[in-house]
Amino acid sequence: MITISLPKSTRFLQPVIRFSATFNAPTLGKYNFGIPANTGAVLIDTLGLSSIYLIDNINVGGTIDEGEYLFSVANNPFPLLRLRTRIDNQAVYAYPLPILNYIDNQPTLAWIASTKGGDGLLADFTGVLDQTPALVGVPKISIAVSFNVYQITDSAFVKSFFMPDSETAIAMQTGGVSVPSVVFAGGTNRQL
């Protein structure tokens, strides 16, 4: 594990997004999340130009029992969550995150920074669920996704993040690979 320490001035954010699918719309006999309302949901409205964001964990829950969620996923394209920037449509993760079950504090470490004014962080949720016998009469399913995000504005840290070989670099060597060393709010260290 890598220990990362963030500056004390780091802000903790916990954005929450809700995605919904209605039975029979647009796919008969299914709950289809692949609708326009579930794409381009705003996770962070404006990414600060002098900030770096660290996505630490993801949490996922829904309005149906987790066992029914698992059972209804079985014969369909897996529900997928994709994070991207608003301006360049740049993916945060190389591949979308499969949401095969409900999740509690799963590590999803990612660093995000933008050099473009007005940029934001968006989320897309797609996938299809079957209507299982237990879901008969359930007109709509909602999935809530939250992230633990840290906004780092400390100028020395931001500079070292973009120029890790500079004199002000906050870096540690791990097996010959330079990894930014980050300090969590409150000055405590955390194992990732």
Query: What number is the average pLDDT over the span 155-162?
Result: 85
pLDDT at 159 exceeding the cut of 60: yes
For residue 165, is it within any domain?
Answer: no
Q: Which helix (H) or strand (E) holds 71?
A: helix 66-73
For residue 72, is it within any domain?
Answer: yes
On average, the pLDDT of the chain sits at 83
pLDDT at 171 exceeding the cut of 50: no
Residues 41-88 have pLDDT tens digits of 888 888 988 899 999 999 999 999 999 999 999 777 889 999 999 998
For residue 191, is it within any domain?
Answer: no
- The pLDDT value recorded for residue 187 is 34
SS3 66: helix
For residue 183, is it within any domain?
Answer: no
Q: Residue 112's Cα: distance from chain center in Å?
A: 11
Query: What number is the average pLDDT over the span 164-190?
Result: 39
pLDDT at 99 exceeding the cut of 60: yes
Predicted TM-score (pTM) of this structure: 0.81
Q: State the sign of the Cα–Cα–Cα–Cα dihedral 187, 191, 107, 163.
A: positive
For residue 173, is it within any domain?
Answer: no
Tokens 């399913």 — which residue? 141
For residue 74, is it within any domain?
Answer: yes
pLDDT at 173 exceeding the cut of 50: no
Q: What percent of the chain stands above pLDDT 90?
A: 65
**Who contacts 49 (Cβ-Cβ below 8 Å, separation ≥6)?**
114, 115, 116, 117
For residue 179, is it within any domain?
Answer: no
**What is the tally of structural domains in the chain?**
1
pLDDT at 182 exceeding the cut of 70: no
SS3 55: strand
| Residue with more model confidence, 154 or 186 | 154
Q: 5: which 2 tokens?
A: 């320490």
Which parts of the chain are beta strand (E)?
3-5, 11-13, 16-22, 30-32, 41-44, 52-62, 80-85, 97-98, 103-112, 121-126, 128-130, 140-152, 171-174, 177-180, 189-191
Integer CA distances (angstroms), 90 to 8, 53, 94, 95, in order: 29, 15, 10, 12
pLDDT at 164 exceeding the cut of 80: no
| DSSP 8-state code for residue 10 | P
- The pLDDT value recorded for residue 42 is 87
Residues 108-149 have pLDDT tens digits of 999 998 888 889 999 999 999 999 999 999 999 999 999 999
Host domain of residue 70: 12-159
| Residue with more model confidence, 77 or 7 | 7
Q: What letter represents residue 61's amino acid?
A: G
For residue 168, is it within any domain?
Answer: no
- The pLDDT value recorded for residue 166 is 54
Confidence of residue 160 (pLDDT cuts 50, 70, 90): confident
